Amino acid sequence: MAQIDHLALWTHDLERLRAFYETYFGARAGARYSSATRPFTSYFLTLAAGARLELMQQPALADPAGDMPRVGYAHLALAVGEPAQVDALTARLRADGYRIVSEPRWTGDGYYESVILDPDGNRVELTTLAH
């Protein structure tokens, strides 16, 4: 049903981390993304076998909810299909009592996604298939 789309990491130095994964693991970086609505930048890096990393930087010490680190693991993204499937799974998880951190929406970098917390509080991004 789902497939891992990417793993995301927060960093204080986006260019340094991008260069590290390119130099030592042969990753290929896509275009640098900068949000038009908040101080957020990121790169998607693709590894030879197709796995992807999202490197993210935001200058604030914490997100608006105040509970997200700025270095290290950010979220696991699971591609579940089309937007309707993201909507349906988000609704099912809500009905089963799981916390919805971010309602389904189109992002500035072209994903349709929602974010939920798993039973241990880890962020899981439910997204459309990679574009």
The answer to whether the beta carbons of residues 93 and 119 sit under 8 Å apart is no
Helix, strand, or coil here: 100? strand
Q: In order of start, what are the domains of the chain with their CATH numbers? A: 3-128 (3.10.180.10)
C-alpha span between 79 and 14 (Å, rounded): 24
pLDDT tens figures, 94-128: 999 999 999 999 998 888 999 998 887 878 899 98
Return the SS3 of 90: helix
- Please state the rounded mean pLDDT for residues 74-84: 88
Written as six digits, the tokens of 46 are: 């693709």
Model pTM score: 0.71
Residue 69 predicted with pLDDT over 80: no
What pLDDT, in 10s, does the model give residues 12-42? 889 999 998 999 888 999 999 999 988 899 9
